[in-house]
A and B are shown apart, each in its own frame.
Chain A
Amino acid sequence: MSLEQDLVTRAVQGDADAFAELYESNFDRVYRYLYVRLGNQAEAEDLTQEVFAKVLEAIGSFQWRNAPFASWLFRIAHNKMIDYIRREKRIERVDSDETVLSLDDPDPAEIAEHNLQLEKVRHNIGRLSPAQREVIWLRFGAGLSTTEVASALGKSTGTVKALQYNGIASLRKLMEQSS
């Protein structure tokens, strides 16, 4: 049994420490995924909390079936986001309101530069095909492995690798065009 499998099994059985560890190791990347998708800090914060509340509610029924825990977690995050978008009847924002960056030196000019670059990247990812976009968000935004992305999206790893390759190639072209 892998370390993650052991952790998830203990969390499923109600072990508070195991759940806390899973929470801490996934919190930032769930937030990041939602933030880069929605482009709004307040919405990303609300949804991150909703995602973990749902995880807590549902983890008792989680069963390990060769699908990594992250796939299950990010399927919940994805579904929560889609529900939210439908509920609010809005489209994913291309431009964000503000950005929280982990910069060591909080120089305003540097932050502004980062914000501009991030918005450019987000904007152009938003112009990719839905499948390419989803792979890029999960792989580069959430940092999932190819296997985890494949399992979360119900696709083969070969397809995910092809979408990733073609997505980045298209993104490069779009970035060149927009600069």
Chain B
Amino acid sequence: MTHELHELFDQYVDRLISGEETTACVVQDLDLSEVLGPLLETSTLVVQQLGAVEPSPEFRQAARTRIRSLFFSRLAHKESRPGFLFMWWQRRWVTAMATALVVCLAGMGLLAASVDSLPNGFFYPMKTATEQARLTLALSDLDRAQLQLEFAESRLDEMTTMAGRGDSDTVILLAGEVTQLVAQMCTGALFESLDIDSEISEVLAARSAAGSDLSLEEVLSMDRAGALQLLQYVIVSAPPELQPAIERLMEALSRDFDASISLIESSA
């Protein structure tokens, strides 16, 4: 019933917003009229008051002139870029080189991963160096974002393993790296239009300001909340190919942080 009430009210609000006369929005059902009538009265007032706000004609004109000049200056800038054929040739050459490098590095990375993939392991620096190289050589923003998510998931796996061994220092380090990777992905060109730089800075600043007075659980909770918050911001605008990986990481964040906290606590 509550759901139906919300639904019905929403339909009336739609009608009010589209400019229908208040009198036309009379609730047919008398029982509902008692409940919805007063709310529609308030809604009408809000629509009328807020709807009456308009920009001044002078501002409208000045803003139009400004956006028009911005539009054409961007267009002029675009047309002054190097020719398409040159760009195509350049891209083809770079792609070939990058592919060769990625194949070599991925092989090394796989070796490192298969031999010893834990932070205190001998091959671990090689693994992280390979990851950095793969990020640098990523061919598109989407590829880079996918790699960042993949590496963040990998850090989570390592974090849980290290928590099982009772190594709380490394666990904190790895949790911070997860946040860093998520933040890097969110600052990428894919999500430029979201304009969430301040949210990202806030998450990173909170992490770097975290002092030694915080417990392991508090630090991990902060990392988890920060990473989840950023992923929630970007998931709606993420390309469809990226969304499953984001969802997977969000699930892993909730699961692995809890697991790590309880593992550390039980080993203490």
Contact = CB atoms under 8 A, between A and B. Distances in A.
A11 to B, nearest CB: 10
Contacts of A19: 71
B192 A58 contact: yes
B191 to A, nearest CB: 9
Contacts of B206: none
Contact of B55 (A27, A72, A76): A27
Interface-central residue, A48, A71, A161, A175, by most chain B CB under 10 Å: A161
A172 B193 contact: no
B47, B68, B236: residue with the most chain A Cβ atoms closer than 10 Å: B236
Interface in B8-50: 9-10, 13-14, 17, 38-39, 41-43, 45-47, 49-50
A62 B17 contact: no
Interface residues of A, number: 65
B60 A143 contact: no
Nearest to A71: B236
Interface of B: 2-3, 5-7, 9-10, 13-14, 17, 38-39, 41-43, 45-47, 49-56, 59-60, 63-64, 66-68, 70-71, 74-75, 78, 189-190, 192-198, 232-233, 235-237, 239-240
A118 B46 CA distance: 8
Most chain A Cβ neighbours within 10 Å, of B13, B41, B50, B190: B50
A100 B56 contact: yes
User: Could you tell me the dominant secondary structure of chain B's interface residues?
Assistant: helix
Nearest to A32: B53
Given A23-B67, A161-B7, A172 B52 contact: no
Q: Which 4 A-B residue pairings sit nearest by Cβ, starting from the closest? A: A58-B193, A161-B6, A79-B195, A102-B54
Interface of A: 14, 16, 19-20, 23, 27-28, 31-32, 35-36, 41, 44-45, 48-49, 52-54, 56-58, 61-63, 65, 67, 71-72, 75-76, 79-80, 82-83, 86, 99-103, 114, 117-118, 121, 125, 136, 139-141, 143, 145-146, 151, 154, 158, 161-162, 164-165, 168-169, 171-172, 175
Nearest to A101: B52
Given A14-B75, A168-B43, A65 B237 contact: yes
B155 to A, nearest CB: 25
B5 A140 contact: no
A60 B43 CA distance: 37
Nearest to B16: A140
A171 B236 CA distance: 30
A48 B193 contact: no
A19 B192 CA distance: 19
